[in-house]
């Protein structure tokens, strides 16, 4: 229960999300026939290397992995998107997962980790170590408590919620939750109230300092909160790019909120 409370609080704080870490942007697991147009779309900073990350697929029947795709050598596009897809819709820059039935219909999960494909052989148990993002989903399936509890999340998204599982996909909204509507692969929705070009790095923070960057030199007001909602650091930054010293903060998971004029950005921040 404590783990679920923490993740619920994190989701509540992420009210205006931009992406300082990789997120799962869209998943289409079910189509007519043998599912020849399945895809997983990731979103991060544009034109950014994906070295050191891996996409892992988990089977709800035993709550263990059934496939893993190493992202080494891959890069997000000009919109920050990267796609893993079945052969019929994969382009030259995508990971081609194969002809069909590569993304199970549910109840299952898609997860992004820091790591390598070799770290996740088939039947690897669920772990939250080095977990970056996860989506638990199904197609009119009962909630899978093993997946939800294992990943510390509370929502299993239903691709068939509108009764159109063969023609709709699960898509991330700007608040970090998901909705189901017709697929929009490689189409990025940009919100007017988000900070353009926002990025933080490195994340996780490993040497007490991380950088905040955007396309604007406007003053940035930053606040860092612990998972209980207590503010542990606030600071004003100037310029397009500035460093933030977090040596006064203990290692752990935090929420970073940045305000730039009327625009906002919020993300998870891991300090090691």
pLDDT at position 159 over 90: yes
Residue 180 has a pLDDT of: 95
Say which range, 114-118, 121-125, 237-241, has the weakest mean pLDDT.
237-241
Asked if residue 71 lies in contact with residue 50, where contact means CB atoms within 8 angstroms, the answer is yes
Q: Looking at residue 80, which CATH number applies to its domain?
A: 2.60.40.1260
Residue 176 has a pLDDT of: 81
Asked if residue 240 is part of any domain, the answer here is yes
- Nearest alpha carbon to residue 103 among 152, 165, 163: 165
Q: Looking at residue 250, which CATH number applies to its domain?
A: 2.60.40.3080
DSSP 106-132: SSEEEEEEES-GGG--TTPBP--TTEE
Asked if residue 193 is part of any domain, the answer here is no
Kindly list the distances between the CA atom of residue 21 and the CA atoms of 62, 91, 192, in Å, as whole numbers in the listed order: 28, 24, 20
Asked if residue 6 is part of any domain, the answer here is no
Same domain, 243 and 175: no
**What pTM did the predictor assign?**
0.66
How many angstroms separate the CA atoms of 36 and 202, rounded? 37
> Average per-residue pLDDT in the chain?
88
Cβ neighbors of 175 (< 8 A, separation 6 or more) are: 14, 15, 16, 17
Asked if residue 174 is part of any domain, the answer here is yes
Confidence of residue 145 (pLDDT cuts 50, 70, 90): very high
- Structural domain boundaries, residue 140: 19-181
Kindly list the distances between the CA atom of residue 150 and the CA atoms of 64, 108, 175, 191, 213, in Å, as whole numbers in the listed order: 10, 12, 23, 32, 34
Cβ neighbors of 1 (< 8 A, separation 6 or more) are: none
Please compute the mean of the pLDDT values over residues 6-27 and round it to a whole number: 61
Confidence of residue 75 (pLDDT cuts 50, 70, 90): very high
Residue 265 has a pLDDT of: 81
Percent of the chain predicted with pLDDT > 90: 64
How many angstroms separate the CA atoms of 66 and 241, rounded? 41
Same domain, 160 and 46: yes
Same domain, 24 and 98: yes
Report pLDDT digits (tens) over 103-112. Answer: 999 999 999 9
Asked if residue 10 is part of any domain, the answer here is no
Residue 226 has a pLDDT of: 86
How many angstroms separate the CA atoms of 38 and 101, rounded? 8
Same domain, 169 and 48: yes
Residue 20 has a pLDDT of: 59
pLDDT at position 2 over 70: no
Same domain, 101 and 213: no
Asked if residue 35 is part of any domain, the answer here is yes
Final residue belonging to a domain, choices 135, 155, 181? 181
How many angstroms separate the CA atoms of 13 and 2, rounded? 17
Same domain, 158 and 234: no
Same domain, 214 and 135: no
Same domain, 53 and 27: yes
Same domain, 151 and 245: no
Report pLDDT digits (tens) over 47-70. Answer: 889 999 999 999 999 999 999 999
- Nearest alpha carbon to residue 264 among 25, 17, 46: 17
Final residue belonging to a domain, choices 147, 181, 215? 181
Same domain, 176 and 207: no
Report pLDDT digits (tens) over 184-216. Answer: 887 755 444 578 788 888 989 999 999 999 888
Residue 41 has a pLDDT of: 96
Final residue belonging to a domain, choices 131, 148, 181? 181
Please compute the mean of the pLDDT values over residues 121-129 and round it to a whole number: 97
Residue 197 has a pLDDT of: 80
Asked if residue 50 is part of any domain, the answer here is yes
Asked if residue 11 is part of any domain, the answer here is no
Same domain, 93 and 175: yes
Which H or E run contains 11? helix 2-13
- Nearest alpha carbon to residue 272 among 212, 203, 201: 203
Same domain, 125 and 210: no
Instruction: Count the domains in the chain.
Output: 2
How many angstroms separate the CA atoms of 120 and 68, rounded? 6
């Amino acid at each position: 229960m404590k783990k679920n409370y923490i993740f619920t609080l994190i989701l509540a704080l992420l009210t205006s999300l931009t992406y300082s870490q990789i997120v799962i942007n869209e998943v289409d697991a079910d189509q007519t026939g043998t599912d020849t147009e399945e895809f997983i779309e990731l979103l991060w900073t544009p034109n950014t290397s994906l070295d050191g990350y891996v996409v892992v697929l988990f089977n709800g029947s035993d709550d263990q992995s059934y496939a893993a795709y190493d992202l080494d050598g891959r890069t997000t596009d000009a919109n920050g998107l990267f796609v893993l897809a079945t052969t019929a819709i994969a382009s030259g820059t995508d990971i081609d997962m194969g002809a069909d039935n590569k993304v199970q219909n549910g109840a299952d999960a898609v997860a992004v980790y820091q790591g390598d494909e070799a770290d996740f052989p088939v039947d690897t148990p669920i772990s939250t170590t080095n977990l970056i993002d996860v989506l638990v989903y199904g197609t009119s399936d009962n909630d899978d408590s093993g997946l939800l509890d294992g990943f510390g999340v509370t929502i299993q998204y239903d691709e068939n919620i509108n009764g159109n599982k063969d023609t709709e996909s699960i898509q991330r909204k700007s608040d970090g939750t998901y909705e189901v509507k017709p697929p929009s692969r490689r189409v990025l929705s940009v919100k007017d109230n988000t900070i353009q070009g926002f990025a933080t790095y490195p994340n996780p923070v490993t040497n007490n300092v991380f950088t905040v960057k955007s396309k604007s030199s406007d003053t940035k007001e930053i606040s860092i909160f612990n998972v209980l909602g207590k503010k542990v650091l606030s600071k004003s930054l100037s310029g397009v790019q500035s460093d933030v010293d977090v040596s006064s903060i203990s290692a752990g998971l935090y929420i970073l909120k940045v305000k730039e004029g009327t625009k906002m950005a919020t993300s998870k921040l891991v300090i090691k």
